Amino acid sequence: MPGAPRREQLSNAVRGLVALLLALAALCAMPPRASAQATHIAAALVAERAVAAPGQTIRLAVTMQPDTGWHGYWLNGGDAGFAMQFKWALPPAAKIGEVRYPVPETLLINGLMNHVYEHNYALLMPFTLPADARAGETLAVSAEADWLACTDEICVPENGRLATTIRVGAPSAWDPRFDGWLARLPAPLPEPVRYAADSKTLRFAIPIPAALELGAPHLFVRTDGVAAYASEQRFARKGDLLLVELGRAEGAQEAVAGPVDAVLRYGEGDGLTIRAEPGAVPAGGTLLAGADKGALDLAGFLAILGGALLGGLVLNVMPCVFPILSLKALSLAKVNAAASKARADGLAYTAGVVLACLALGGLMLGLRAAGAEIGWAFQLQEPLVVAALLLLAVAITANFVGVFEVPVMASGEGTSERGAFATGLLAAFVATPCTGPFMAAAMGAALILPPVAALAVFAALGLGLALPFLALGFSPALRRMLPRPGPWMEWFRKAMAVPMALTALALLWLAWRLGGAEFALACAAMLLMLVGVLVAIGRAQRRGRRATPRAAPALAALVLLGALVLPRLAEAPAAAAAAASAQLLGTKPFTLAALETARDSGRPVFVYFTADWCLTCKVNEVAAIEREGTRAAFTRARVQVLRGDWTRRDPVITRFLEAHGAAGVPLYLWYAPGGSEAKVLPQVLTPALLEASANQG
């Protein structure tokens, strides 16, 4: 048939055209090979240590650096996008673990929800060296990686070969960048999470402290096919439960098989990894107004205020506060003050204390808002502040023993509301070297509360500190219980110099720990000069002369000398502050890497955070931690002990404390073998508690 060859030619031409189009489509679909010029997200493989021991587990990081306007994707990319894919080439017998992603961000484009990173980020994974690796050997680790780089308009598949090397030998120092990368990973939530599902909604009950501020919360569901990623998420509070409701994926069945994995974002870069099991989810709750602020549960907030009040009250028995409070109280008895005068003094003293606490708390919140990684008692991490407190403690001690007189510390007829206010300021200021029970939890909550609520917590702390003197001012019955004036009061005043002198010695030791031996010697020299000036002031006062004209230049010269000399000596970090003080338990310094390694060992882990200026910490260490009985119990249970020293500012420890709801030290954590998360131990430890924890594993 004459038309047959023509039809066959046409058919061949069509098939050829189709094949050509398919080939072109396949070519276009192939991701270009990654290079510095071709990729919009630069990727690199980094090892946390350049040298590691045979069999040691270290971390690898894949660093991702998107170009401006581009983004990468989370483990579950959402409605579009996909996670990074790896094909590893490892040395024989080496192992690599699960890839961990930082907390992602949301990006809604044309009704599609994307889980993305629009900034530099890093993926982390554990890597175990071969146990039979030889010292001096260099191990090559590489991967063929595929990832997706997108803007709001286009997406480009990219790939490349990522490679690094690790030398076998004595472990080297680890890359400090891993501190920041680890801090951005979502923390596991230890409490059980429940979820309930029907054909339209997915509801979660997540245990979260009622007072936690949930800045722009979002639940990123990792388990695929169960949630509509772009659906509205509704958050409600019911006590210490956060109730989350979101829509189901289109066509989803009512039943959901097995657990649902997700990450709850509750702040900027902060998140919790959860694994929810099917179970009962309560109804109701207080609906959060918008997704930018969390709701404060009234009962929880009142409990926080109560903790701050008790913490301030306990501060009154600390050696740095009790002498001032005692002498101020006895001043009322000495002058036999009228009821109106006593009330005025009590109110003025309280105003001074509360104002000082508000100022300190406001300064801390302001510095944190500006990006500083600080917590409660941050000022005691600064050598110059400790030097100022040291000089103040010595001056108060000299006043107590009668070297000279200070009007605001006077206990006679000169007592006035202005003097009471100044004494309140002084009491709050000298209280800063002391920490006590109940304070850590309240201060930790203050860091995550809205600013007004946080300042209310600091005010409650000040009210607790001022409460004893305030009660004396308003209660004639309490004032009648004060001992009658007599010669014994002068003896009592001198006796109160003893705890203040001990406080000064502790501050001098802390100055050595923070700034080193030269800094401490310079502080001691300034103390001798200060005492000389105070002796001269006292002599002038006893002769009835005004001491101010002669003392002012000497004090100004002393301050100027300190301002010129001390900062230079304090600039160099002190090696003494980094030394571990407890060797009885085989303690190792805390790092995030050391904690992960210890937990991976299958042994119980006890982690405690302390500081040289924390009195409660030191009491616990002497009374419970550094004891022979504790050592024996820990040895039997093979407990690994890590010690976090927060004497000097440490952003990694600060973030770790905040992640566990603490604004300061002490913090004691117990990790059972195979446990998902830490058990927080009480702030007041006993040997029996630690031994029981070790026996339970």
Q: What is the pLDDT of residues 30-57, one digit of tens each?
A: 444 433 346 899 999 999 999 999 999 9
Q: Cα separations (Å) of 571 from 166, 254, 515, 567?
A: 35, 64, 8, 6
Rounded-to-integer distance, Cα 669 and Cα 687, Å = 15
**Region of poorest pLDDT, from 12-26, 399-413, 469-483:** 12-26
Amino acid identity of residue 60, one-letter, is L
- Residue 155 is predicted with a pLDDT of 87
Task: Supply the pTM of this predicted model.
Answer: 0.50
pLDDT band at 640 (very low <50, low <70, confident <90, very high): very high
657 CA to centre of own chain: 3
- Residue 618 is predicted with a pLDDT of 82
- Residue 579 is predicted with a pLDDT of 41
Stated length of the chain: 697
Cβ atoms of 88 and 161 closer than 8 Å: no
Q: Tens digit of pLDDT for each residue in 360-391?
A: 888 877 776 655 556 666 677 778 888 888 88
Could you give the 3-state DSSP secondary structure of residue 650? Answer: coil
What mean pLDDT comes out for the span 509-517?
A: 83
Q: Which domains does the chain have, with CATH numbers?
A: 41-175 (2.60.40.10), 187-287 (2.60.40), 298-575 (no CATH), 580-696 (3.40.30.10)
What mean pLDDT comes out for the span 502-528?
A: 86
- Residue 132 is predicted with a pLDDT of 93
Rg for the chain, CA atoms, rounded: 32
pLDDT band at 448 (very low <50, low <70, confident <90, very high): low
- Residue 429 is predicted with a pLDDT of 73
- Residue 294 is predicted with a pLDDT of 38
What mean pLDDT comes out for the span 93-122?
A: 91
What mean pLDDT comes out for the span 94-120?
A: 91
Beta strands, E only, 506-598: 588-589
pLDDT band at 679 (very low <50, low <70, confident <90, very high): confident
Rounded-to-integer distance, Cα 610 and Cα 412, Å = 41
Could you give the 3-state DSSP secondary structure of residue 297? Answer: coil
pLDDT band at 663 (very low <50, low <70, confident <90, very high): low
- For 529, half-sphere exposure in the C-beta direction (CA atoms, 13 angstrom radius) is 17
Q: Tens digit of pLDDT for each residue in 55-87?
A: 999 999 999 999 999 999 999 999 888 899 999
Strand arrangement, sheet containing 640-645:
588-589, 640-645, 605-610, 667-671, 679-680
273 CA to centre of own chain: 18
Cβ atoms of 143 and 86 closer than 8 Å: yes
The DSSP secondary structure of 409-454, one letter per residue, reads G--STT--HHHHHHHHHHHHHHTTT---TTHHHHHHHHHHS-HHHH
Average pLDDT taken over every residue of the chain? 80
Residue 537 CB coordination number (10 Å): 22
Rounded-to-integer distance, Cα 486 and Cα 483, Å = 9
Residue keyed to tokens 């009658």: 484
Residue 219 CB coordination number (10 Å): 22
- With 0-12 / 13-18 / 19 or more C-beta atoms within 10 angstroms meaning exposed / middle / buried, residue 290 is exposed
Strand arrangement, sheet containing 138-150:
51-52, 155-168, 138-150, 85-89
